[in-house]
Structure 1
């Protein structure tokens, strides 16, 4: 799919940012390569915890870019993995190198801005605000409540079934 851009400091705190100063000092002392491996491992754990089916999932972190490999079970899974990784604080881009077991149409992505809510986004993409639940369902399990979205977050907007 290519390279996707995200807002680096708007995502989930998967990397443990906000730790005590002693923990921060210990992390800062790590070699850059070790820190990148640690971040990559935490991203893999975050993806696996959500139960996405990806064979041979591999993630590398290079600065603020995450490179993702593996074979996703579906296009939906592929897109959700990109969103989990990209919606992580400290990641500004995801270089998607995944393959898909079964090709399907690609969804659109929407970056949430201040004042957005799911029904407003549904109105924009579908012409019908009541279709907000389609967007909510398409972003589970990353979203747990339709009212809990934040500026900078990137959402998956699937095509409506005919």
Structure 2
């Protein structure tokens, strides 16, 4: 459990574009609430599509902060859910309140910077660039190819056995 910081403008687009008149505060607030609810529904769909095992998943978004609760099957599942939510454009902080059913070592995290490759990241964490597939596998299904990472993206770096 804890707070995770993300780069608000990096990541997948989950919020729609609002049409509310900025001079009408009630209309702006209603539009913001509508967008937040739509974003929560989309995030839940993505988590379900990735077949991540989380019971009683609840996501609450308030501005650029997302709070997640539920029972994750294992530590890796929990971390992937946090990354899916946090690596969404518009989210700056994830308040992770999930409980883990099967406890395992907690992974480290790395924020991708311009010029990073999974090989360079593996070299930094594991002293072996050829261990990049471990990082790639740990971030599937969010990553679809080892070369498709972007600055600002937060990656799981699992503990080696």
Same fold (TM over 0.5): yes
Give 1:33 deviation, angstroms.
2.7
Residue matched to 1:20: none
Gaps of 5+ in 2: none
Gaps of 5+ in 1: 18-23
1:150 aligns with 2:150: yes
Local SS of the residue matching 1:25 = coil
Local SS of the residue matching 1:134 = helix
Higher alpha-carbon deviation: 36-45 or 50-59: 36-45
Residue matched to 1:55: 55
- Compute the RMSD of aligned alpha carbons: 1.6
Residue matched to 2:78: 78
1:118 aligns with 2:118: yes
Whole-Å separation in 2 of the counterparts to 1:33 and 1:151: 29
Local SS of the residue matching 1:73 = strand
Local SS of the residue matching 1:145 = coil
Residue matched to 2:13: 13
Aligned residues: 155
1:25 aligns with 2:19: yes
Give 1:27 deviation, angstroms.
10
Please, what TM-score do these two structures have when normalized by structure 2?
0.91
Alpha carbons 1:54, 1:70 under 8 Å: kept: yes
Whole-Å separation in 2 of the counterparts to 1:84 and 1:26: 28
Please give the per-residue CA displacement for 1:100-157, whole angstroms capped at 9, x wherever unaligned.
Answer: 1111110000000001000000000000000000000000000000000000000000
Please state which structure has a larger fraction of its residues in strand. Answer: 2
Please, what TM-score do these two structures have when normalized by structure 1?
0.90
Alpha carbons 2:15, 2:36 under 8 Å: kept: no
Matches within 5 A, 1:62-101: 62-101=62-101
Whole-Å separation in 1 of the counterparts to 2:91 and 2:47: 14
